[in-house]
Amino acid sequence: MDLTIDIGNTLCKAGVFDKNGDLVFFEKYETLSLAQLEMLCEKYPITRSIVASVREQNTDIENFLVAKTHHIPFSHASLLPVAIRYETPHTLGLDRIANAVAAHLHYPNENTLSIQAGTCIVYDFIDNQGVYFGGAISPGIDMRFKALHYFTGKLPLVEKKEIIRYVGQNTQQSVKSGVINGLIFEIEGFINQYKTDYPDLKVVMTGGDGDYLRKSIKNVIFAGSNFILKGLHEILKLNAEKI
């Protein structure tokens, strides 16, 4: 079995895939400890592993996986099923690469905009030839709420709840409307701009806030929180076969 780990800015996600490529285990952690990792490896006969991280490298996890599994190092030099046309590939987040691979895996012959709605809102574009060009990054929902609170004198820290109508009738509602509706308008604006160049565009949304935004954005496929893990698994298989 194969273990894939996606260490994001806020959460860590782990998935186990069987020999048929089916996801048989998926879990989110605030922090993935060695004890949790050991329990996972005891429960499943894991033989191969791969990690993508946007944080500083966790050497304890890496060393454990190297010792216990056939660990596939993932970097910008790894073999990929997509072509990277990013001007500074060494600065490109590994999560974005895995996200692009997942998008191409699910929609191999289509122009695809994949949107990660998490700590940041990340837009990644892959064309119908499997070429990744880049995209955009902007603050996520919680980051926007915190910015309004911490960089002003009196605005409150508002929690993410239901999406309200656009006219806020008190300060809490006004902040919520500005953040949530502003983000919706941003996402829809990006989608519409891409569609002017690629009318057949396929739009996929993933990430922790994807479900929260589900009802507010039209013509978007919601891929779930394990989307990047599927891209990681594809990268693992490709690189393991070449060793």
Out of 2, 95, 124, 209, the active site residue is 95
Distance CA 150, CA 182 (A): 19
* Residues in a beta bridge with 4: 15, 50
**Residue 95 annotated in active site:** yes
Kindly list the catalytic residues.
95
